[in-house]
Amino acid sequence: MLQGALAGLAAGGLYAVLAVCLTLMSRLVRVVNFAQSATGMFGCYVAVFLSVDLGLPMWLATIAGILLGGLLSALLGWIVSTWLAEADTGTRSAVTVAVLLLLISLSFILFGNKPQPFHPILDGPALTVGGVVISQVTVVTVALAVLVAVASRIVLSRTPAGVQLRALSERPTTAELLGIPAKRLSIAVWAVTGVVSTLVISIVAPSQSNDATSLAMLVVPASAAALLGGFRRLDLAVAGGLGLGLIQGAAAQVDGLSVVRYFLPFAVIVALLLWSQRKEVWDAAR
Amino acid sequence: MKPARRIVALSAAVLLATAGCAGAESGSSGPIVVGSVNALSGAATFPEASQAAKAVFDAANASGGVNGRQIQYKALDDKGDPAAAAAAAREVVGRDEAVALVGSSSLIECEINNKYYEQQKILSIQGIGVDPACFTSPNIAPANVGPYHDMTLTLLYGSETLKLNDICALLEIAGNTLPSYQAAIDEWSAITGKKLKYLDATVPYGGSDYTSYIVKARNAGCKAITVNPVEPDSIGQLKAAAAQGWNDVTWLLLTSVYSENYAKAITNAGAGVYVPAEFYPFTDSTSPQNKDWRELMTKNNIPLTSFSQGGYLAAKYFLEVAKGISGDVTRESVTKALREMKPITDPMVGTPYVFGPGQTHHDNTAGWPIKLASGTNKWELVANDWLRIPKK
């Protein structure tokens, strides 16, 4: 059980990083970005294309892919903040669903639906705990999740830009009247989360299934993790991601539970929603 | 997905309703219509089988056709969707009045359409049969070995040639395939008297991280793992093992991972990936066995894959039988000829092909062992002859 749980940590770290990105997006720019992992996937695929077909060195291609992920995300942010500046969260998020589907289709068209020959950036085991090998990827993703969460926290609470961002998310109109450059800041948030999610997917993709659909759909467990923090709290998002990974890994070790394992993110989402909405009355909640 | 399903179902119903009023006249002078139902779009696609069949028919048409008549080949898409698969079959069999189905390759088509083919008294030489119904229906006889015999072969190779004990099975089960895989494993047990160390049939399709399954297998003491994976999943499983530093595990896989793409994606293959290729290995580029096929595929820009081998063979078998028909080439005469045909031997397969009068068609029982070793990124042949499932 414990060994299985530790084996699930790599996935957990990945969920956690994506959950932090989702939480940031929801807090700062009022979007649940369904295309969060799809932009990462697309950036990685382009990186593979650059290194395999154009013969760029591995590191250069990876960096180019990560930048492209950030650019894609920034472009999407520009679209949303230009035409849907005043729209509600639901509408803004709906746009990202379209982008998710677009990116999956586009990667099928451009790169085919066969898995890509990724070359691992990190490969092999890092240390052994209780008979389970903890891979380098696991160490890096978990560290990255904590790092991104802590860094975001510091930026939001200690820097002028962070204060402006918070003002924007709390009272967008007031902030704009005060002369805070709303659009630029929003796009910056989009770009940063795009870069971070492409980075983490670049690290993880070579060591797991990496077809377009499974990478793009990582947003589901990430959403479940972000929901633990109500899409507001970064620390709970990290905990949720790591926890979900641990539970999934442990469930795979028990024959009776391994069927359930695949529906876990959905089960978690439903349970959290039921719990968080438990005091809502029909009329008031609608 | 629900509304989309409904739309597909609705359009299928409309198609069916209109199909009745649009019968194409296929007299004895017009073209001979041959159909196929394929996974051309959807989650998993293999367009090569029908492309290869079409290339064979085009070449035959260029040299005069069958008994002076041209072959009109219609490859339809099943979109990986049951309703679309049913509609496609009815379009080509009912409306276009095909004489036979040749070179189909799909994940679901046999299951959905086998009863319909029986009703319509039409036979299908499947290019690549995957689901169990392809091998258990009276009117379908695939050109390929199929994943179930392939599973028996890969286990035989692992236990008898590589002398591996402690083989574990991780099965990815879609639909109703578990009993067929179980039967394949039981067949191996009956031949060798050996048992699997354990079988886990809960491995998910399209999983993102297989580490926990790999850890479980390693802790159970498995020396070799047999899987029935699709390419991306297998890559994920091998990478999970590599990340765990498990470098002495042998992988006994199926033809589903036999591709150049897969070889490129795998740097660490543990103690090796072994596959009994269902057709003579296409990566052996100088082989006389594949020469004609290779030339035809290259000329038509069709990818060199197992799928295109299956489609090519299905079309060749059909042509050989059709050319031997004296009189009119109709659905009745083609069906009769296939039922009564003599076995056709081809160097690309280890078992002669015969449709025959059987209630099931699962007679192709030979694979050619190939290996992908760590760090080579290339498939290589590891045998000089076909590996066969011993006759009971």
Q: Please indicate, yes or no, if residue B36 is contained in any of the structural domains.
A: yes
* Closest C-alpha among B32, B51, B177 to residue B104: B51
Q: Please indicate, yes or no, if residue B16 is contained in any of the structural domains.
A: no
**pLDDT tens sequence across B149-169:** 999 999 999 999 999 999 999
Q: Please indicate, yes or no, if residue B10 is contained in any of the structural domains.
A: no
| Smallest CA–CA distance from A260 into chain B, residue | B202
Using DSSP bridges, classify how beta strands B379-381 and B366-372 pair: parallel, antiparallel or unpaired. antiparallel
Average pLDDT score over residue span B93-120: 94
- Cα atoms in the 13 Å half-sphere on the side-chain side of B125: 33
**pLDDT tens sequence across B347-376:** 999 999 999 999 999 999 999 999 999 999
pLDDT at B42: 77
Tell me the pLDDT band of B93, cut-offs 50, 70 and 90. Answer: very high
Residues B131 and B224 in one domain: no
Residues B372 and B231 in one domain: yes
DSSP secondary structure string for all residues of B67-86: TTB-EEEEEEE-TT-HHHHH
Closest-CA distance of chain A to residue B41, Å: 10
* Closest C-alpha among B172, B51, B157 to residue B107: B172
Residues B139 and B215 in one domain: no
Residues B117 and B47 in one domain: yes
Q: Count how many residues are written for chain B.
A: 392
Task: Decide if A115 and B268 are in contact by the 8 Å CB cutoff.
Answer: no
Q: Please indicate, yes or no, if residue B6 is contained in any of the structural domains.
A: no
- CA B359 – CA B380 distance, rounded (Å): 37
Residues B266 and B375 in one domain: yes
Task: Decide if A252 and B43 are in contact by the 8 Å CB cutoff.
Answer: no
Q: For residue B277, what are the β-bridge partners?
A: B368
Q: Please indicate, yes or no, if residue B87 is contained in any of the structural domains.
A: yes
pTM of the model: 0.81
Task: Decide if B264 and A117 are in contact by the 8 Å CB cutoff.
Answer: yes
Most A-contacting residue of B171, B212, B244 (CB-CB within 10 A), to test interface: B212
Q: Count how many residues are written for chain A.
A: 286
Q: Note whether B201 and B171 are within 8 A (CB).
A: yes
Three-class DSSP category at B124: strand
CATH (domain of B194)? 3.40.50.2300
Residues B254 and B272 in one domain: yes
Where would I find the beta strands (DSSP E) of chain B? 32-38, 71-77, 100-102, 105-106, 124-125, 128-129, 167-172, 198-203, 224-227, 250-252, 273-277, 366-372, 379-381, 387-388
Q: Tell me: pLDDT of B25 over 60.
A: no
**pLDDT tens sequence across A231-267:** 888 999 999 999 998 888 888 777 667 667 778 888 8
Q: Tell me: pLDDT of B215 over 70.
A: yes
Q: Please indicate, yes or no, if residue B42 is contained in any of the structural domains.
A: yes
Q: Please indicate, yes or no, if residue B23 is contained in any of the structural domains.
A: no
Write out the two tokens for A33. Answer: 């970005």
Q: Note whether B166 and B222 are within 8 A (CB).
A: yes
Q: Tell me: pLDDT of B143 over 90.
A: yes
A253 reaches B (C-beta below 8 A): yes
Q: Which domain holds residue B113?
A: 32-146+286-361
Residue B127: φ, ψ to 5° = -70, -55
Residues B377 and B249 in one domain: yes
Using DSSP bridges, classify how beta strands B124-125 and B100-102 pair: parallel, antiparallel or unpaired. parallel
Q: Please indicate, yes or no, if residue B334 is contained in any of the structural domains.
A: yes
Residues B186 and B263 in one domain: yes
Residues B209 and B310 in one domain: no
Q: Tell me: pLDDT of B21 over 50.
A: no
Three-class DSSP category at A117: coil
Q: Which domain holds residue A99?
A: 1-284
**pLDDT tens sequence across A210-236:** 778 888 889 999 999 999 888 888 999
Tell me the pLDDT band of A286, cut-offs 50, 70 and 90. Answer: low
Residues B273 and B163 in one domain: yes
B267 reaches A (C-beta below 8 A): yes
CATH (domain of A269)? 1.10.3470
Average pLDDT score over residue span A39-65: 90
Q: Tell me: pLDDT of B11 over 70.
A: no
| Smallest CA–CA distance from B235 into chain A, residue | A209
What total of structural domains would you count in chain A? 1
Q: Which residues have CB under 8 Å from A65's CB, separation 6+? A: A43, A44, A45, A46, A47, A48, A50, A198, A202
Nearest to A133 among B206, B245, B267 (CB): B245
Residue B154: φ, ψ to 5° = -65, -35
Amino acid at B332: E
pLDDT at B253: 96
* Closest C-alpha among B266, B302, B247, B252 to residue B127: B302
Residues B249 and B326 in one domain: no
Find the range with the poorest average confidence among A176-190, B76-90, B357-371.
A176-190
Residues B86 and B165 in one domain: no
**pLDDT tens sequence across A67-117:** 999 999 999 999 998 998 888 888 889 999 999 999 999 998 888 777 677
Average pLDDT score over residue span B214-241: 90
What total of structural domains would you count in chain B? 2
